[in-house]
Amino acid sequence: MSQKKADQNGARILLVIGGGIAAYKCLDLIRRLRERGIVVRCVMTKAAQEFITPLSVGALSADHVFTDLFDRQDEHDIGHIRLSREADLIVVAPATADLMAKLATGLANDLASTVLLATDKPVLMAPAMNPRMWQHKATRRNRDTLEADGIAFVGPNKGEMAESGEAGEGRMAEPIEIAHAIETMLDGKEKPLAGRKIIVTSGPTHEVIDPVRYIANRSSGKQGHAIAAALARLGAKVHLVSGPVSIPDPLGVATTHVESARQMRAAVEALLPADAGIFVAAVADWRPATETAEKIKKKAGEGPPPLALTENPDILAGIGHHEKRPTLVIGFAAETQDLFKNARAKLNKKGADLIVANDVSHDSGVGPGGVMGGERNSVVIVSREGHDEWPEMSKDDVASRLAQLIADRLGKAE
C-alpha cells in the first residue's frame, strides 16, 4: 500500500447523495474511496433513491444506508447528530441545486439537510445540474454564500450532460477528481501554501489570421500544467489559465481555457488579487494586425497575401507593474541565445521577482522533443540576487522544486 493510501486509512466520509442523474457516479466514487482505505457511510435523499437504490449503495459501502430523518430505529442506533460527529469530512455528491439552496438558507427538513446544518465538520460539495440551473442567479448566490461559509467545492465541469443535447457547465466532477479533492482535504499535514491563491498560465496562444488559420508555437503546456498541479499539492488554491493544449486539466486546479494572448490577459486580470502569479505560457509576441472574417482565398497570379503583425499585450509586464500586483511574480523566458543576459534584462523590464530561463534551442541537450513539447527541462532561476542553475530533470521535478521555492519565498515575504 502506498504512503498516501496508508495516510488515509480509516478516514471516515459521510457521503450525502442528492437526487440528480449523476447519482450513479457515486457508486464508482464509493468504490474508489474504499480502495484508498476510506470508510464511507451514506445518506441518500428521497430524490436520490429515484436514481439509484439504497441496496446498491449499501452493498458498495458495506454499511447501512441512512434515508429517513424520522426512522426510529436509525435515530435510536446512530442519530443524525452522530452521523456527522463520526465523520472526518462530509461530501455532498451530486450536490443538487436544491441541497445547495437548503444549506445556503439554513433549511433542515430532511435527513441530508439536517445533517449538513448540524455538522461542525468540513463539507465538500460536488455540484451537478443542468447548465441553466447552475447559471441561475439564485444558484450563483447560493454557491457564493456557501463558499463564504467555508464549504469547499469540486467542479462542476464543462461538457456533455447526461440529458441528451445538453452541454455546458454543470456536469459533476469525475469520481477520480472528487476522490482527489477528498484526499487533499483529509491530508492533515501542514501544507505550506494552504490559504494562498496562485495564478498560473500555461500552453501556447493561438492568434487568428482568418476563420481557419492561426499563428501558434510549439508549447505543449506540460511544464505549466505540472507547476499548477505541484502548487495545488502544497495546498494552494490554483487558478490555471491555459492556452489550447492537448493534455488534460490538472487535478484539483480550477482551469480557464483561452485561445489568444488578449483572452489570456483578460482571464488573468479577472483573477487578481492573488498571492503569486507564475507566467509559464508561451504567449505570442505578435498577432495578425487584421483578423479576416472570411477565409483568405488563394487567387491565381496574385501571389501570397501580405501578413502584417501587431504587438500583443505583454501579460507578465502588465501584471509585474499592476496596481494589484501579486506578492510574487515569476516569468518564464524561453531563449535560444544569451540566456542569462536576456533573462536578467527581462527581470527588470517586466517587474518580475524571478525569471525561470530555459534554453529552447534545438541543441539544448534535453533529449527527444527538446524543451518545448518534451518531458524534460533544464532551467536557470534568475533573481536580483544572482542565479541558480538547476540540473536537467523531468518537468514534474522542476515543478515540485519550483513550488517549494515559491512556498519559501511567500513564507519569507510575510
Ligand X SMILES: Cc1cc2nc3c(=O)[nH]c(=O)nc-3n(C[C@H](O)[C@H](O)[C@H](O)COP(=O)(O)O)c2cc1C
Residues in touch with ligand X (CB under 6 A): 18-22, 45, 47-48, 94, 96-99, 128-129, 133
Residue with smaller CB distance to ligand X, 45 or 205:
45
DSSP-derived secondary structure for 78-118: T-HHHHHHT-SEEEEEEE-HHHHHHHHHT---SHHHHHHHH
- List CB contacts of 91: < 8 A, sequence separation 6 or more: 13, 14, 15, 16, 123, 124, 125, 126, 178, 182
97 or 282: CB nearest ligand X: 97
350 is in an annotated binding site: yes
* Angle CA 25–27–28, to nearest 5: 70
Instruction: Tell me which of 217, 312, 358, 377 is the catalytic residue.
Output: 217
The secondary structure of residue 120, as a DSSP letter, is -
Active site residue 377: no
CA distances from 210 to 207, 216, 282 (A): 9, 13, 21
Residue nearest to ligand X according to CB distances in the complex: 20
d(CA 254, CA 190): 22
Question: Which of 162, 215 has the CB closer to ligand X?
Answer: 162
In angstroms, the CA 72 to CA 258 distance is: 54
Q: Residue 63: count other Cβ atoms within 10 Å of its Cβ.
A: 14
Query: What minimum distance in Å lies between the beta carbon of 57 and ligand X?
Result: 14
CA angle 33-35-37, nearest 5°? Answer: 75
63 labelled ligand-binding: no
- Does 285 belong to an annotated binding site? yes
Q: Which is nearer to ligand X, 128 or 319 (CB)?
A: 128
Q: Is 62 exposed, middle or buried (0-12, 13-18, 19+ CB in 10 A)?
A: exposed
Q: Is 316 marked within a binding site?
A: yes
3-state secondary structure of 69: coil
Rounded to the nearest whole angstrom, what is the least distance from the CB of residue 63 to ligand X in the complex? 20
Q: Is 70 marked as a binding-site residue?
A: no
CB of 23 to ligand X, least distance (A): 8
Name which of 21 and 117 has its Cβ closer to ligand X: 21
Give me the least distance between CB of 402 and ligand X, in Å please.
39
Give the total residue count for the chain: 414
Cα(97)–Cα(35) distance, integer angstroms: 30
315 marked among binding-site residues: yes
Q: Binding site for CTP: which residues?
A: 285, 295, 313-316, 332, 346, 350
Return the active site residues.
217
Q: Binding site: which residues?
A: 285, 295, 313-316, 332, 346, 350
